[in-house]
Structure 1
Amino acid sequence: MKSIPVLAVAAVTMTLLLSGCVAPTQKTTPLKCSVGEPMTQTTLYFGLNRPAGPVITATEWQSYVDQQVTPRFKEGLSVFDAKGQWLGKEGKLARENSKALMLIHVPGAASEQNIEALRSQYIQQFAQDSVMRIDMPVCVAF
């Protein structure tokens, strides 16, 4: 049996992962749903470590959700515990407890402004470098 080089597997995996990515200015064909309605799923990843000082507590996180997220997305949201891992600038492996926030919303300027406000507020309030954002079209039925 012939082995597949690791780089080839990584290239194919990356191609599949990025195949759904579209530049914001590019027109896309609307998603056709056999069940449900086309919407957008946005998942934001929030690190819970501060560069200096204590980790962000469960109380601080819940306060952020109550004061910043809920007023902007009253229709609903989901929060998941996550574990982040990446290669730092010095080549050292970094790990961090995180929260994943999943929002299902109608695409548009209002949602976009609210999502970016959440990211900016968290970065500022908790001295973070970034909040990762992933968007994808989905079909939603209740």
Structure 2
Amino acid sequence: MSRAVSSCLMLALLVPAVAGCATSGIPVQSSISSCEAGDQSMVRDTLYFGHNRPNGGRVREAEWRQFLNEVITPRFPDGLTVVKATGQWRNASGHIEQEASQVVTILHAGDPTARGKISEVMAEYQQRFDQEAVLRERTATCARF
């Protein structure tokens, strides 16, 4: 989202199931000992893209659509889920700020290439829309298509 939302402390408060934030290249550790027959072991990244800009403006719907089409979809053409949301966080001055957001969930193999693409998406959003951070949740999961 826009600022301090990316801190591990905030993430731990928002999502109690998350044990901590990994910043190394170590693969996500799963609490799932093994997937059921027919399931695939995958990584689920959930990204939170806040729409408030530091100057008081907002990321417009057309700008978001263009970002989704030009940046996210080409990196993850097999599929993803986008949900509109409203988030809130405490900014550096202690004020609670609410903002419209887009939540994007992507399932992938968890390999260095896919993880790198997630990092590229986050960095591009931050640069393009003058954002301090994009919140990312990463969990191991089992999936069946």
Normalised by the length of structure 2, the TM-score is 0.79
Unaligned ranges ≥5, structure 1: 1-12
- % of aligned pairs identical? 30
Shift in Å at residue 54 of structure 1?
A: 2.7
Unaligned ranges ≥5, structure 2: 1-12
**Does 1:94 find its partner at 2:97?**
yes
Q: Which among 33, 36, 39 is matched to residue 34 of structure 1?
A: 36
- Give the distance between the partners of 1:26 and 1:77, measured in 2 at CA: 21
Q: Which runs of 4+ in 1 moved over 6 A?
A: none
Structure 1 residue aligned with 2:124: 121
Q: How many residues align?
A: 130
Shift in Å at residue 86 of structure 1?
A: 1.1
CA RMSD of aligned residues (A): 2.5
Can you list the C-alpha shifts for 1:38-94, whole angstroms capped at 9, x where unaligned?
Answer: 100000000111111531111110100100011100110110011111112111111
Choose between structure 1 and 2 for higher RCO, CA contacts under 8 A separated by at least 6 residues.
2
> Could you say what secondary structure the match of 2:106 adopts?
strand
| 1:56-71 correspondence to structure 2 within 5 Å | 56-71=59-74
Whichever of the two has the greater Rg, that structure is: 1
Shift in Å at residue 112 of structure 1?
A: 1.0
Q: Which among 43, 47, 50 is matched to residue 47 of structure 1?
A: 50
Cα distance, 1:95–1:53 mapped onto 2, change above 3 Å: closer
Contact 1:31/1:137 (8 A) holds in 2: no
Structure 2 residue aligned with 1:138: 141
Shift in Å at residue 18 of structure 1?
A: 2.9
Normalised by the length of structure 1, the TM-score is 0.81
> Could you say what secondary structure the match of 1:46 adopts?
strand
